[in-house]
Structure 1
Amino acid sequence: MRRTRYRPIGLSGEETVAKAKEQALRLLRYRARSERELLQRLQAKGFSEATAKSVIARLKKVGLVDDAALAEAVVQSALSDTRPHSRWEVRFKLRRLGIPDDLIDPALTDWTDEVERQMAERYLRRRLPSSPTAKDLERAFRAAVQRGFELTALRDALRTLTGDPDALL
């Protein structure tokens, strides 16, 4: 079923904008959202693109919608999370949230190669038994690669965990 634009009979353009703003604020009450995500959600509710964009512009002006701050918050959350994340995984999440590419790279500046290695090591520690066999190492390595960890970080982490400089070479 195709949705029609939100413009009930008897509502002026200003009233429609007020309803869109109310809907946007309701969405922002649950969690921060990107401009693109808000635009899509408002359009899905039946508001026109022009109405949604004008509401988003007002919310940006007062600081309720800030893609750069959202990107930074997502990265900081991933860095402090108990579950290890790869840089690729965080980048993918930011794209899925609708953060523009030009804001993703600055947000990931804290995610150094050393952080990636530490995250890979934490991930492998969780995946490996206390006395891992070669097969266990290979399985954990493959799982980490599928999660997006960089190969150099994984190799360094495996060397640290096993004490073997030739681990999985």
Structure 2
Amino acid sequence: MARSAASSETDCGGGTEAQAKDVCLRLLAMRAHSRAELAERLAKRGFEPEVARGALDRLAEVGLIDDAAFARQWVQSRHQYSGKGRTALAIELRGKGIAPDQAEAALAEISREDERERATELVRKKLRTVDVSELDAAERDRLTRRLVGMLARRGYSQGMAFDVVKSELRELAANAES
């Protein structure tokens, strides 16, 4: 009885290096992956560690796996499109198996000014629908806590988050008075 391609992929019983490379190429066609992510996926599919290592080494040789490039791309993308701060990005990279030195190099590409600018954009977006002039002191404090919490969950330092929120609220209040 012939086995389907799907079942041979999921329980390959060790599989060959060529099969492991095919699995990796399919995953890489969807999005970039770190070497550790690919190794984990191969292990879940039953590939022996030495087979997986051989396939991953070959893919790295030809430049299809590059953790440093992956980390740089991941950091830029997640910072720009998801509004993540350095702390959250460092945690994500660690979870993806990126070496600390490669993660630090990628994170260094986001300057403190870039991070502050992105935090300011996020706060401004949230404040578009708020009329600060109508808030009493308790509501203003509650709004401040909500905004600082939002930035903290995205990986911005508490000091930066509080400073950005206070600055934006002051600016909104000044514009409302003008």
* TM-score, length basis structure 2: 0.77
Contact 1:145 1:151 (8 Å CA) reproduced: yes
The aligned counterpart of 1:6 is 14
The aligned counterpart of 2:118 is 119
Residue 109 of structure 1 deviates from its aligned partner by 1.0
The aligned counterpart of 1:69 is 69
For 1:64-103, list aligned pairs within 5 A. Answer: 64-81=64-81, 83-103=82-102
Counterpart-to-counterpart distance in 2, 1:46 and 1:130 = 54
The aligned counterpart of 1:18 is 18
Counterpart-to-counterpart distance in 2, 1:18 and 1:148 = 40
The alignment yields a C-alpha RMSD, in angstroms, of: 2.0
Residue 148 of structure 1 deviates from its aligned partner by 2.2
Say yes or no: does 1:150 pair with 2:157. Answer: yes
The aligned counterpart of 1:167 is none
Aligned residues: 153
* TM-score, length basis structure 1: 0.80
The SS at the match of 2:108 is helix
The aligned counterpart of 1:54 is 54
1:138 to 122, 134, 145: 145
Contact 1:56 1:65 (8 Å CA) reproduced: yes
Counterpart-to-counterpart distance in 1, 2:45 and 2:104 = 32
Residue 106 of structure 1 deviates from its aligned partner by 0.3
The SS at the match of 1:110 is coil
For structure 2, the 5+ residue unaligned runs are 1-10, 172-178
Task: Please state which structure has a larger fraction of its residues in helix.
Answer: 2
Counterpart-to-counterpart distance in 2, 1:88 and 1:140 = 17
Counterpart-to-counterpart distance in 2, 1:4 and 1:21 = 13
Contact 2:17 2:51 (8 Å CA) reproduced: yes
Counterpart-to-counterpart distance in 2, 1:6 and 1:22 = 14
Q: Specify the code of the residue in structure 2 equivalent to 1:149.
A: Y
The aligned counterpart of 2:3 is none
Counterpart-to-counterpart distance in 2, 1:20 and 1:145 = 40
Counterpart-to-counterpart distance in 2, 1:146 and 1:77 = 18
For 1:26-37, list aligned pairs within 5 A. Answer: 26-37=26-37
Mark the CA change 1:19 to 1:34 in structure 2 (over 3 Å): closer, same or farther. Answer: same
